[in-house]
């Protein structure tokens, strides 16, 4: 840890030393002087990987140096998130961090948390939805909520991701907001949203709380229906699906998000340059086309906005995890 800060201090010192020599504009032009490494904590081919790769391609166009995506997998995301935090804070190691950074420390899996990074920008957030089988008797989320309230604990089964995953916490939070225990609906862990949606279509579970884009293909195939989204606004791509607030008057929202971050103590000038470039990327037509095609929600937050967003998520998820008995210590 001492070395960590010493290196940070050195970098900052070096930058301060050069500062009188260069005007801010020139200082920005100097970074990046060589290729930048973009660490992705998840495997090649997934949604996070695809997003990071398009962002890297567009950043390269914006900043004139290659941005190389490196997948650092393992440890359920811990390995890659650590690699970003422990990178040299010189702007040449950045990475895409995901909502798991606000969950893993509550489970006692790592010391890393949101404050271990220099936030650069929030790029995307996908809120959870409530999906049921197409032949389910519940036509709207109110009917489902009433049935859940009237059911005995454990009678309803829900799925969407692994035990303690983001969609599990979404369910726990929603049940809590309705005044029910977090395990009133039993969670059936799955290997992600696609297998859960398949099990929903096969009649194996009663509801799935993954994001609506993840459920899209099965919904469009007429095998499932989406009853609500747990978000402040409706999703413009699925305008017929109401929000929980509209349907039940419950103002609960927690989503899976992705953002870019740099190691702690990255020089502010570099961080600001990256945030500015990321904003241009986020506003570009290429990025919009990509996100819309994949059905990913577009949410922007600059460095301060991202930090505030992480703080909110962290508190929300911590509460949900304690309620579900998943938090430690």
Instruction: Report the interface residues with other proteins, using CB under 8 A.
Output: 43-47, 49-50, 53-54, 57, 69-76, 78-79, 82, 109-110, 154, 157, 159, 162-165, 186-191, 194-195, 197-199, 201-205, 216-218, 220-223, 290, 293-295, 326
Nearest by Cα to 63 from 277, 279, 285: 277
Sign of CA dihedral 23, 26, 28, 34: negative
CA atoms within 13 A on the CB side of 50: 11
Residue 227 phi/psi, 5-degree rounding, is: -95, -30
Q: In the beta sheet, which residues pair with residue 159?
A: 208
Q: Nearer Cβ to other proteins, position 190 or 275?
A: 190
For the bound state, the minimum distance from the C-beta of residue 311 to other proteins, rounded and expressed in Å, comes to 25
How far apart are the C-alpha atoms of 304 and 320, rounded to whole Å?
24
How far apart are the C-alpha atoms of 68 and 60, rounded to whole Å?
9
CA atoms within 13 A on the CB side of 111: 4
Q: Nearer Cβ to other proteins, position 71 or 235?
A: 71
For the bound state, the minimum distance from the C-beta of residue 76 to other proteins, rounded and expressed in Å, comes to 5
For the bound state, the minimum distance from the C-beta of residue 39 to other proteins, rounded and expressed in Å, comes to 9
Cis peptide, bond prior to residue 87, ω within 30 of zero: no
Look at residue 148 and give its three-state secondary structure.
helix
Q: Nearer Cβ to other proteins, position 177 or 194?
A: 194
Q: Nearer Cβ to other proteins, position 49 or 302?
A: 49
Q: Nearer Cβ to other proteins, position 150 or 293?
A: 293
For the bound state, the minimum distance from the C-beta of residue 302 to other proteins, rounded and expressed in Å, comes to 26
For the bound state, the minimum distance from the C-beta of residue 180 to other proteins, rounded and expressed in Å, comes to 19
For the bound state, the minimum distance from the C-beta of residue 315 to other proteins, rounded and expressed in Å, comes to 21
Q: Nearer Cβ to other proteins, position 39 or 248?
A: 39
Q: Nearer Cβ to other proteins, position 55 or 122?
A: 55
Residue 137 phi/psi, 5-degree rounding, is: -70, -15
Residue 175 phi/psi, 5-degree rounding, is: -60, -40
How far apart are the C-alpha atoms of 262 and 222, rounded to whole Å?
43
How far apart are the C-alpha atoms of 56 and 40, rounded to whole Å?
11
Q: How many residues does the chain have?
A: 329
For the bound state, the minimum distance from the C-beta of residue 184 to other proteins, rounded and expressed in Å, comes to 14
């Amino acid at each position: 840890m001492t070395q960590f800060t010493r290196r940070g201090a050195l970098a900052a010192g070096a930058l301060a030393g050069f500062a009188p020599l260069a005007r801010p504009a020139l200082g920005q032009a100097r970074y990046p002087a060589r290729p930048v490494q973009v660490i992705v904590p998840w495997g090649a081919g997934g949604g996070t990987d695809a997003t990071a790769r398009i962002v890297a391609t567009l950043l390269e166009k914006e900043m004139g140096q290659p941005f190389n995506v490196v997948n650092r997998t393992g440890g359920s995301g811990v390995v890659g998130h650590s690699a970003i935090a422990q990178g040299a804070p010189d702007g040449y190691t950045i990475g895409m961090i995901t909502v798991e950074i606000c969950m893993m420390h509550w489970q006692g899996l790592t010391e890393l948390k949101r404050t271990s990074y220099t936030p650069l920008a929030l790029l995307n957030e996908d809120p959870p939805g409530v999906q049921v089988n197409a032949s389910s008797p519940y036509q709207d989320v109110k009917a489902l909520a009433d049935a859940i309230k009237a059911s005995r604990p454990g009678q309803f089964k829900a799925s969407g991701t692994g035990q303690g995953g983001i969609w599990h916490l979404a369910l726990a939070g929603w049940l809590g907001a309705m005044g029910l225990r977090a395990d009133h609906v039993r969670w059936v862990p799955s290997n992600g949203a696609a297998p859960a949606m398949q099990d929903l279509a096969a009649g194996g579970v009663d509801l799935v709380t993954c994001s609506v884009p993840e459920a899209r293909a099965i919904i469009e195939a007429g095998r499932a229906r989406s009853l609500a989204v747990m978000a402040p606004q409706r999703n413009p791509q699925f305008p017929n699906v109401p929000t929980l607030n509209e349907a039940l008057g419950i103002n609960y929202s927690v989503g899976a998000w992705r953002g870019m971050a740099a190691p702690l103590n990255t020089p502010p000038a570099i961080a600001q340059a990256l945030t500015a470039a990321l904003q241009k990327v986020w506003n570009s037509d290429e990025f919009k086309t990509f996100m819309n095609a994949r059905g990913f929600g577009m949410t922007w937050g600059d460095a301060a906005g991202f930090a505030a967003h992480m703080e909110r998520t962290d508190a929300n998820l911590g509460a949900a995890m304690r309620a579900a008995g998943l938090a430690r210590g």
